[in-house]
């Protein structure tokens, strides 16, 4: 299809059955798959876990088949593959925007907007936009990233397109970027991100689950999706942390990628089912 009938990809996307972003219980469970475009292919100790696109698509197909999965977050290549496969009906499609800050690059903090843009998402019928904002006070590359993000926030509001901001306070350590996951650092990142753009009415937050999430959620009035992050050594402990944070005011759901698509035991369906039931507590019992 890509080689001989590329127009069919766009046709498949435009003909998909769309849904409201929020419906039913007003909660969202989004599967994230925008990591490869940043050169982030590792899952745990396996450096190239996400390198095989066909395996990734199979795992996404398994996840998206669950009735509790509301949508998917990806770059255009991923979203187009899923559209071609007919997997986006009744799903919220979230377009990932800034993929220029490649993992391990000297220019990683200059996180340019090289994937979706607001005009294209609005024209194509993308339902939601997503940006990553890593604030490094020691790296001048942060400044153009903040400026570009502010522009994107304003454009999204003008287009009435919800946009989720994923902020971190970050720093260089031994040649790589490390995100500060202390409670105070997450709160500071929220304060900085919240003020970006000329209109915040369509802004959401996408935040990591850290210690004292009550304080984190008290720092913003914006609807928030929890970031799943990397898989921990104890999946039960991870799920328990998500469950506690999902009960907080302002939290509207969960956005998770590698933790569920590449679980330690390899059972994607079971991992997705567990997370879906944390978000949508009224789901019927599993068969």
Rounded Cα gap, residues 72 and 130, in angstroms: 11
Structure tokens at 181: 């996951």
pLDDT surpassing 60 at residue 148: yes
Question: pLDDT digits over 1-52, tens only?
Answer: 999 999 999 999 999 999 999 999 999 999 999 999 998 999 888 899 999 9
Asked if 187 contacts 216 with a C-beta cutoff of 8 angstroms, the reply is yes
Alpha helices, H only, 85-219 = 118-124, 142-158, 183-194, 213-217
Confidence (pLDDT) at 186:
98
Mean pLDDT of the chain: 94
Confidence (pLDDT) at 232:
58
Confidence (pLDDT) at 44:
82
Average pLDDT over residues 274-285: 88
pLDDT bin (cut points 50, 70, 90) of residue 175 is confident
pLDDT bin (cut points 50, 70, 90) of residue 282 is confident
Burial classification of residue 106, based on how many CB atoms lie within 10 Å of its CB (0-12 exposed, 13-18 middle, 19 or more buried): exposed
Question: pLDDT digits over 81-95, tens only?
Answer: 999 999 999 999 999
Rounded Cα gap, residues 110 and 132, in angstroms: 11
Rounded Cα gap, residues 205 and 259, in angstroms: 20
Rounded Cα gap, residues 163 and 233, in angstroms: 32
Asked if 239 contacts 273 with a C-beta cutoff of 8 angstroms, the reply is no
Asked if 216 contacts 189 with a C-beta cutoff of 8 angstroms, the reply is no
Residue 241: enclosing H or E segment and its boundaries? helix 235-246
Instruction: Kindly report which listed range (73-77, 193-197, 221-225, 256-260) carries the lowest average pLDDT score.
Output: 256-260
Q: Where are the beta strands (DSSP E) in 113-263?
A: 128-135, 163-173, 176-180, 203-208, 224-227, 251-256
Confidence (pLDDT) at 233:
58
pLDDT surpassing 90 at residue 189: yes
pLDDT bin (cut points 50, 70, 90) of residue 276 is very high
Domains of the chain: 7-279 (3.20.20.70)
Question: pLDDT digits over 221-255, tens only?
Answer: 999 999 986 655 577 888 898 999 999 999 999 99
As a whole-number percent, the residues of the chain with pLDDT over 70 amount to 97
Asked if 163 contacts 148 with a C-beta cutoff of 8 angstroms, the reply is no
As a whole number of angstroms, the longest Cα–Cα distance in the chain is: 54
Instruction: Kindly report which listed range (37-51, 113-127, 264-278) carries the lowest average pLDDT score.
Output: 37-51
Average pLDDT over residues 177-191: 97
Average pLDDT over residues 132-157: 96
Which of 37, 38, 33 shows the shortest CA–CA distance to 105? 38
Which of 129, 134, 121, 124 shows the shortest CA–CA distance to 38? 134
Which of 215, 205, 213, 218 shows the shortest CA–CA distance to 168? 205
Phi, psi dihedral angles at 164 (to 5 degrees): -100, 130
pTM of the model: 0.94
pLDDT surpassing 60 at residue 200: yes
Confidence (pLDDT) at 284:
77
């Amino acid at each position: 299809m890509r080689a001989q009938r590329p127009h069919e990809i766009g046709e498949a996307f435009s003909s998909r059955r769309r849904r409201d972003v929020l419906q039913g219980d007003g909660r969202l469970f989004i599967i994230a798959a925008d990591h490869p475009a940043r050169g982030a292919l590792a899952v745990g100790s396996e450096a190239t876990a996400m390198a095989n696109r066909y395996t990734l698509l199979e795992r996404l197909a398994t996840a998206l088949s669950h009735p509790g999965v509301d949508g998917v977050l990806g770059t255009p290549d991923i979203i187009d593959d899923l559209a071609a496969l007919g997997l986006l009906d009744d799903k919220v499609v979230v377009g990932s925007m800034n993929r220029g800050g490649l993992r391990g690059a000297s220019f990683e903090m200059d996180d340019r907007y090289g994937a979706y843009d607001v005009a294209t998402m609005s024209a194509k019928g993308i339902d939601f936009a997503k940006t990553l904002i890593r604030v490094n006070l020691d790296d001048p590359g942060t400044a153009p990233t903040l400026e570009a993000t502010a522009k994107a926030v304003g454009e999204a509001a003008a287009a009435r397109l919800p946009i989720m901001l994923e902020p971190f306070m970050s720093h260089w350590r031994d040649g790589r970027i490390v995100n500060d996951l202390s409670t105070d650092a997450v709160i500071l990142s929220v304060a900085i991100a919240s003020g970006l753009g000329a209109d915040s009415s369509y802004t959401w937050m996408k935040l990591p689950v850290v210690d004292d999430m009550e304080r984190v959620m008290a720092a913003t009035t914006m609807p928030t999706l929890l970031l799943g992050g990397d898989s921990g050594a104890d999946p039960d402990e991870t799920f328990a942390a998500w469950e506690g944070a999902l009960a907080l005011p302002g939290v509207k759901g969960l956005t998770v990628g590698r933790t569920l698509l590449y679980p330690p035991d390899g059972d994607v369906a079971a991992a997705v089912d567990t997370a879906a039931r944390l978000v949508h507590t009224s789901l019927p019992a599993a068969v």
